[in-house]
Amino acid sequence: MVLEQLYSSKWIEQKCRYAFLMGLTYSIVGIASALLLFPKDPGLAAIAFTSLLIVPSLNKIMSIEQKQAAAEEFSVFKVFTYHSDVFKVYLFLFFGIMASFAFFSLAWPSMVTSKIFEQQVNVLGAAGQAYYSSGVFGSLLVNNLKVLVFCLIASLVYGAGSIFVITWTASVWGTVFAIVANNSAHIAGQNPVVYFLLTMLAVFPHMFLEAAAYFIGSISGGIVSKAVVKEKAFSERFNKTISDGLVMFVVALIILVIAVYIEANFAGKFVGLFGLR
């Protein structure tokens, strides 16, 4: 693939911050392709095209991570030291994708609302209820657990298959936060970009933790998937990789519970503090 030559997997893992540029570039190409081929309903097609561009690089990175997990001496306390690079890749990639969808939503708000990212915009009502309602911890936790488990299963089956869910989440957050910023800026007569940054600041605590849980769950599934294919079942290398993946998934669960608690109890206060609507 031509674009894959611009962002090789080894280079991205060594220079994690450039994953932001990869996410930004691939998502712009994905959005443009969707608008060209599916002009009447490009929202989900943009997610699919973006994910297809990213999967080859992530699959190669997962193979590198699995070899490292199998070769290193297993330690609960060193698991995240071993996989810190790939976590950063997911993080910067996520923010790159989110930035591109936010840019389109800030630049052309009326077109985005009515046509381009209609599926993403439809999430806005549910997100608003989460921010301004109390006692929603249980329902939020169940919904987010479903996403986390799907990230795990998709990674187990497809290697880097969870990237579709992660790309979808990044597109929703980028689009929704940009629309909230546009609405608040219009009411206040201020610059939408400033309000977008304020929105990001308001939601960052739970957004970062929730996204981190999905990344860790995806990584755990991805390395286990590679182990099943490449290692002999129940061998020492296989067992070390499985243990590595299980520890990561348990940590992902803990982080997700913390993220949901913050979202259910404090997100509305943070949003209101910055005067966002």
pLDDT band at 250 (very low <50, low <70, confident <90, very high): very high
CB atoms within 10 A of CB 10: 11
Q: Which domain holds residue 87?
A: 2-273
Tens digit of each residue's pLDDT (9 = 90 or more) over 168-216: 999 989 988 888 888 888 887 788 888 898 888 888 988 999 999 999 9
Tens digit of each residue's pLDDT (9 = 90 or more) over 127-156: 544 444 545 788 888 889 999 999 999 988
CA distances from 134 to 201, 211, 259 (A): 21, 22, 15
Lowest mean pLDDT segment, chosen from 31-40, 59-68, 268-277: 268-277
What's the mean pLDDT when you consider all of the chain? 81
pTM of the model: 0.86
**What is the spatial distance between Cα 242 and Cα 249, in angstroms, rounded to a whole number?**
11
**What is the spatial distance between Cα 172 and Cα 187, in angstroms, rounded to a whole number?**
23
Question: What is the C-alpha R_g of the chain?
Answer: 19
What's the first-to-final CA gap in the chain, in angstroms? 43
In which residue are the tokens 């220079």 written? 15
Count structural domains, the chain: 1
Q: Helix (H, G, I), strand (E, B), or coil: what is residue 264? A: helix
In which residue are the tokens 């929704």 written? 176
> Percentage of the chain with pLDDT > 70?
80
Tens digit of each residue's pLDDT (9 = 90 or more) over 1-51: 555 555 555 656 666 778 898 899 999 999 999 989 988 888 889 999 999
Give the single-character DSSP code of 3.
H
Rounded to the nearest 10°, the torsion over CA 232, 236, 237, 241 is 110
Q: Which of 140, 161, 122 is nearest to 256 (CA)?
A: 140
